[in-house]
């Protein structure tokens, strides 16, 4: 940085006691008063120019000896208000040589002393030039400027409005808006000037031009006026070198700063502080070249108020422009969010949205690491450099966001000679997800207002620059800086990716759980199928052997009996295979989800089961209304049909049996119940009855697949199922169909 290379001599400026110069600018008179009687303790040596008494005669006298009596009350009120001297000017009547005369006055306390400053005899206000604008003009100026700022389309346009309006109001030859960087260097972001003047717009000035002690005074005093750069300061009588003049508008100027202005050819200047939250973020610098330029106290107060208002308005406008730009970028981010919500793989989504990513972050390339491979788009470094970044930059930084303008600053010892990029912003989402954005080197020129290293005199001591011609510095080795918006957008993207990681993990956990369940199911399936199919096969094999013998003996009756037994065993095998095929199809549906009217469904089933109900002497009761279910119609019918069929086979063991079908809304969906009046089921069998191939009584008909199918349909519809029963009191089987969030 430039400040680090400046010679020590220049840094002495920061130690200069500019708040205690002991001298004042000669365009006004200063009086130092003490005690309740306001005795004159010190007075500037030019006091004789306006007072009837000499400076020596004034010392020790009461201020009322040189001012009109009515001014005493004004001084007391000003002290009680405790307002800064540059905020509200006083009208002070002086006992002058040629009679009473009005002056602009200001008063403030400095320790135990009361400082009274006088300037600008009233006859000056009679002039009709630009420096004598009225307070009304101030309000017109402020209102017009705020209106124009609100119409501006950029920060630069808003700043130019401020400069143009203030130049017209004050009459200075040049008005600049000067903004400070984080390093303290100044940048002219807007300018209004006379046509014959060299433009300063875009130039930068080193932080050393305004030392720390001067910046502190700019925060304390909102305005600093030097109406005549070449005027010789006047001393206080008697000398008072320890007087703190921080709040004095007449405080003399540092000789270093006077030399600086003279080298620029400036004859008069004024600076207005731009402050936010107690921090100096810029200055409005006014320069005049054609002789002295004096603004009345009233006008300076107007400029102070103007600076306070436009400082706030410029910051509001800047935030508004930034918010608008951020909103546009976030709108583009929404497209990426939708892409991630539908994409199966992050790498594929990033590749598909390559241009959107590059444009969103204004980068030249991106790299995505999925835990195994590097996937890249655009200008990117080699895999070796990416591995070095992952190892050195992100080691131990899970779910972090980092940005560097220069890779060499973090990859010491790594050869970056052929690396096509310079800076990087990285998003580390998980142990195996890393997204890197890269920018190429950004070589640019900084236009300084003169050589920022300063100028040495014949003795080798650094002095203020005597040339302010444009001096260019080439800056390289870094990428274009990562802005606050870049960080905010990247942080939001990291949140999106982190959420996607969590969803993917949850999805994998569900898949693993389903896979584990399927594995157990397959194991049980294989065991049960081998058992249930083996039995009829053994039967078929045995009766085939018996049939051979009966055929040889010619016993046709025995052959017919054997064939009937073979046919029964084959039928049981066919039923089992058919049920297993139906079971395997559940979940592999290709149709669309629809609203299923349960009343219509049950009316159709009631007709289908007419003969079965008649054979067992049971009544099927439908408890209307049943409502609707949103889901897969075939699977919904399969589940309810299995429950009704199960009730007919096992729940109609008593005379006057009744089967009741009901439906009601419950939390999270709709519950369908099928209640029978059979023998009931013992509690220890309530859970395992829905397992595949589980039959409570092996002697009964059935394959043990029906209720397992009900459980599988419930799972498919984001629900569950169960049974409620007490032995001897019948059973109620139920299935809950869940709500679909994406219907």
Q: Which residues contact 139 (CB under 8 A, 6 or more apart)?
A: none
Three-class SS string for 335-389? HHHHHHHHCCCHHHHHHHCHHHHHHHHCCCEEEEECCCCEEEEECCCCHHHHHHH
Which helix or strand (DSSP H or E) is residue 174 part of?
Answer: strand 174-180
Q: Which residues contact 112 (CB under 8 A, 6 or more apart)?
A: 34
Compute the distance between CA of residue 542 and CA of residue 547 in angstroms, rounded to an integer: 9
- CATH (residue range 18-125): 3.30.450.20
Q: Does 12 score more than 60 pLDDT? A: no
- What pLDDT is recorded for position 227? 94
Q: Does 595 score more than 70 pLDDT? A: yes
Compute the distance between CA of residue 616 and CA of residue 653 in angstroms, rounded to an integer: 8
Q: Which residues contact 170 (CB under 8 A, 6 or more apart)?
A: 130, 131, 133, 270, 286, 295, 299, 303
Taking a C-beta distance cutoff of 8 angstroms, is the pair 628, 597 a contact? Answer: yes
- What pLDDT is recorded for position 28? 92
User: What does DSSP say about strands 433-439 and 423-430: parallel, antiparallel, or unpaired?
Assistant: antiparallel
Answer CATH for 339-444+475-503 from 3.40.50.1000, 3.30.450.270, 3.10.450.50, 3.50.50.60: 3.30.450.270
- Residue 424 CB: number of other CB atoms within 10 A? 28
- What pLDDT is recorded for position 704? 60
Q: Does 734 score more than 70 pLDDT? A: yes
- What pLDDT is recorded for position 30? 93
Q: Does 467 score more than 60 pLDDT? A: no
Please compute the mean of the pLDDT values over residues 39-54 and round it to a whole number: 90
Compute the distance between CA of residue 664 and CA of residue 495 in angstroms, rounded to an integer: 41
Q: Which of 72-86, 319-333, 537-551 has the lowest mean pLDDT?
A: 72-86
Q: Does 5 score more than 50 pLDDT? A: no
Q: Does 565 score more than 90 pLDDT? A: no
Q: Does 79 score more than 50 pLDDT? A: yes
- pLDDT per position as a tens digit, 623-669: 888 888 888 888 888 888 888 888 888 878 777 888 899 999 888 78
The answer to whether the pTM exceeds 0.75 is no
Average per-residue pLDDT for the chain = 77
Compute the distance between CA of residue 280 and CA of residue 219 in angstroms, rounded to an integer: 6
Helix (H, G, I), strand (E, B) or coil at 167: helix
Q: Give the largest CA-CA distance in the chain.
A: 163
Report the half-sphere exposure of 265 (CA within 13 A, side-chain side).
9
Compute the distance between CA of residue 105 and CA of residue 248 in angstroms, rounded to an integer: 11
Q: Which residue has the higher pLDDT, 464 or 235?
A: 235
Q: Does 736 score more than 50 pLDDT? A: yes
Segment of 73-77, 99-103, 175-179, 592-596 carrying the highest mean pLDDT? 175-179
Compute the distance between CA of residue 215 and CA of residue 180 in angstroms, rounded to an integer: 11
Taking a C-beta distance cutoff of 8 angstroms, is the pair 451, 471 a contact? Answer: yes
CATH C-level class of 594-738: alpha beta
- pLDDT per position as a tens digit, 514-528: 667 666 666 655 555
Answer CATH for 135-230+245-320 from 3.40.630.40, 3.30.450.40, 3.40.50.300, 3.40.50.2300: 3.30.450.40
Tell me the CA distances in angstroms from 298 to 85, 271, 304, 311, 607, one per residue in order: 12, 16, 10, 20, 101
pLDDT > 90: what percent of the chain?
14
Q: Which residue has the higher pLDDT, 702 or 178?
A: 178
Q: Which of 35-49, 188-202, 220-234, 331-345 has the lowest mean pLDDT?
A: 331-345
- What pLDDT is recorded for position 649? 81
Compute the distance between CA of residue 340 and CA of residue 348 in angstroms, rounded to an integer: 10
Compute the distance between CA of residue 156 and CA of residue 465 in angstroms, rounded to an integer: 28
- What pLDDT is recorded for position 450? 56
- Residue 197 CB: number of other CB atoms within 10 A? 13
Taking a C-beta distance cutoff of 8 angstroms, is the pair 719, 739 a contact? Answer: no
Helix (H, G, I), strand (E, B) or coil at 645: helix
- Using pLDDT thresholds of 50, 70 and 90, give the confidence band for residue 134: low
- pLDDT per position as a tens digit, 269-299: 999 999 988 899 999 999 999 999 998 888 8
- What pLDDT is recorded for position 267? 94
Compute the distance between CA of residue 289 and CA of residue 7 in angstroms, rounded to an integer: 30
Q: Which of 135-149, 165-179, 614-628 has the lowest mean pLDDT?
A: 135-149
Q: Taking the domains of the chain in order of start, what are their residue ranges?
A: 18-125, 135-230+245-320, 339-444+475-503, 508-585, 594-738
Closest CA to 287 of 449, 462, 124, 120: 449
Q: Quick check: do 18-125 and 135-230+245-320 share a fold?
A: yes
Please compute the mean of the pLDDT values over residues 538-561 and round it to a whole number: 71
Cis amide linkage into residue 238, ω under 30° from 0: yes
Answer CATH for 508-585 from 3.40.50.300, 3.30.360.10, 1.10.287.130, 3.50.50.60: 1.10.287.130
Taking a C-beta distance cutoff of 8 angstroms, is the pair 656, 678 a contact? Answer: no
- What pLDDT is recorded for position 581? 58
Compute the distance between CA of residue 59 and CA of residue 67 in angstroms, rounded to an integer: 14
Please compute the mean of the pLDDT values over residues 384-410 and round it to a whole number: 77
Tell me the CA distances in angstroms from 162 to 147, 177, 284, 532, one per residue in order: 11, 8, 9, 93
- pLDDT per position as a tens digit, 568-578: 666 656 655 55
Helices and strands, counts by H and E, the chain:
17, 29
Helix (H, G, I), strand (E, B) or coil at 108: strand
User: What does DSSP say about strands 365-369 and 658-666: parallel, antiparallel, or unpaired?
Assistant: unpaired
Q: Does 616 score more than 90 pLDDT? A: no
- What pLDDT is recorded for position 460? 45
Compute the distance between CA of residue 678 and CA of residue 682 in angstroms, rounded to an integer: 12
Please compute the mean of the pLDDT values over residues 310-327 and round it to a whole number: 83
Q: Which of 340-349, 512-521, 672-681 has the lowest mean pLDDT?
A: 340-349
């Amino acid at each position: 940085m430039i400040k680090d290379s400046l010679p020590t001599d220049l840094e002495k400026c920061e130690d200069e006691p500019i708040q205690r110069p002991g001298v004042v600018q000669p365009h006004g008179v200063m009086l130092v008063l003490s005690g309740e009687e306001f005795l004159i303790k010190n007075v500037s040596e030019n006091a004789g120019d306006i007072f009837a008494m000499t400076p020596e005669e004034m010392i020790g006298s009461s201020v009322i000896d040189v001012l009109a009596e009515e001014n005493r009350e004004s001084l007391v009120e000003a002290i009680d208000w405790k307002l800064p001297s540059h905020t509200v000017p006083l009208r002070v009547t002086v006992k002058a040589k040629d009679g009473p005369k009005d002056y602009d006055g200001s008063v403030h306390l400095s320790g135990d002393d009361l400082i009274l400053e006088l300037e600008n005899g009233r006859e000056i206000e009679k002039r009709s030039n630009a420096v004598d604008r009225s307070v009304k003009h101030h309000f017109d100026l402020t209102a017009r400027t705020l209106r124009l700022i609100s119409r501006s389309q950029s920060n630069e346009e808003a700043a130019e409005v401020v400069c143009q309006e203030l130049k017209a109001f004050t009459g200075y030859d040049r008005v600049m808006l000067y903004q400070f960087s984080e390093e303290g260097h100044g940048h002219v972001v807007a300018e209004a000037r006379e046509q014959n003047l060299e433009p300063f717009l875009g130039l930068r000035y080193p932080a050393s031009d305004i030392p720390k002690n001067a910046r502190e005074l700019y925060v304390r005093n909102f305005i600093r006026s030097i109406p005549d750069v070449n005027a010789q300061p006047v001393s206080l009588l008697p000398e008072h070198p320890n007087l703190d003049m921080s709040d004095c508008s007449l405080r003399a100027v540092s000789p270093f700063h006077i030399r600086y202005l003279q080298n620029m050819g400036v004859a008069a200047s004024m600076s207005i502080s731009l402050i936010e939250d107690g921090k100096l973020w810029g200055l409005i610098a006014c320069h005049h070249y054609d002789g002295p330029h004096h603004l009345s106290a009233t006008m300076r107060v107007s400029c102070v108020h103007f600076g306070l208002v436009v400082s706030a308005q410029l910051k509001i406008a800047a935030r508004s422009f930034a918010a608008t730009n951020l909103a546009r970028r976030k709108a583009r981010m929404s497209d990426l969010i939708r892409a991630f919500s539908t994409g199966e793989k992050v790498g594929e989504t990033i590749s598909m949205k390559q241009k959107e990513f590059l444009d969103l972050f204004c980068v030249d390339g991106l790299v995505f690491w999925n835990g195994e491979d590097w996937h890249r788009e655009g200008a990117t470094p080699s895999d070796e450099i990416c591995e070095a970044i992952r190892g050195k930059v992100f080691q131990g930084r899970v779910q972090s966001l980092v940005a560097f303008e220069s890779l060499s600053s973090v990859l010491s010892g790594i050869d970056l000679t052929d690396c096509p990029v310079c800076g990087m912003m990285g998003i580390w989402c998980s142990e195996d997800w890393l997204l890197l954005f890269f920018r190429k080197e950004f070589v640019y020129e900084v236009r300084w207002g003169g050589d920022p290293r300063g100028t040495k005199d014949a003795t080798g001591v650094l002095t203020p620059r005597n040339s302010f011609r444009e001096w260019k510095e080439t800056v390289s080795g870094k990428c274009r800086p990562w802005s606050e918006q870049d960080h905010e957008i990247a942080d939001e993207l990291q949140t999106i990716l982190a959420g996607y990681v969590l969803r993917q993990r949850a999805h994998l956990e569900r898949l693993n759980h389903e896979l584990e369940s399927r594995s157990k199911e397959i194991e049980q399936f294989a065991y049960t199928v081998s058992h249930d199919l083996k039995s009829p096969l053994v039967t078929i094999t045995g009766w085939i052997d018996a049939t051979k013998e009966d055929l040889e003996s010619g016993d046709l009756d025995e052959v017919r009996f054997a064939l009937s037994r073979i046919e029964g065993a084959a039928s049981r095998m066919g039923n089992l295979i058919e049920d297993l095929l139906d079971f395997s199809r559940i979940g592999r549906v290709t149709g669309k989800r629809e609203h299923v009217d349960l009343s219509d469904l049950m009316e159709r089933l009631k007709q289908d089961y007419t003969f079965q109900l008649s054979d067992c002497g049971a009544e099927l009761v439908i408890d209307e209304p049943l409502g609707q279910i949103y889901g897969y119609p075939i699977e919904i019918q399969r589940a309810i049909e299995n429950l009704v069929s199960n009730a007919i086979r096992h729940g109609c063991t008593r005379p006057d049996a009744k089967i009741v079908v009901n439906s009601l809304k419950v939390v999270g969906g709709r519950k369908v119940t099928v209640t029978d009046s059979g023998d009931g089921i013992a509690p220890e069998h309530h859970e395992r009855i829905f397992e595949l191939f589980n039959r409570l009584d092996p002697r009964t008909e059935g394959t043990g697949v029906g209720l397992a199918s009900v459980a599988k349909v419930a799972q498919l519809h984001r629900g569950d199922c169960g049974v409620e029963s007490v032995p001897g009191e019948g059973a109620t089987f139920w299935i809950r169909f869940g709500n679909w969030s994406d219907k």
